[in-house]
Amino acid sequence: MRRVRAHVFSSTRHARTAPCIAIDSLLGTYGVEFLGESHRTGENVYYCNAGDTYDTTVIFNGPSMRVGCWGDLIEHHAIVVPSR
């Protein structure tokens, strides 16, 4: 089975997001995806898609990163999800 990686970054953000993509490749996750904005800092939040909302993954909040699951951030209202 062939994996398809979906990176959601535009070329203007590439220099800033290249570390995210590199970590995604090292982890073997399914691409880096936009989650929303941090309620506290206003920074864009991205994560390595590990396949499930509560799987442990790497979360990028502006220039910082942490290990956790993005489902907890949504449950605790730490992320402002943009309306479509």
Residue spans per domain, the chain: 11-80
Q: Which residues contact 6 (CB under 8 A, 6 or more apart)?
A: 30, 31, 33
pTM of the model: 0.77
Q: How far is CA 45 from the centre of its chain?
A: 6
What's the pLDDT tens digit per position in 14-50? Answer: 556 788 899 999 999 999 999 999 999 999 999 999 9
Task: Pick the more confident residue, 56 or 15.
Answer: 56
Residue 84: predicted pLDDT:
64
pLDDT > 90: what percent of the chain? 68
| CB burial of residue 48 (10 Å; 0-12, 13-18, 19+) | buried
Residue 5, CA atoms < 13 Å, CB-side half-sphere:
15
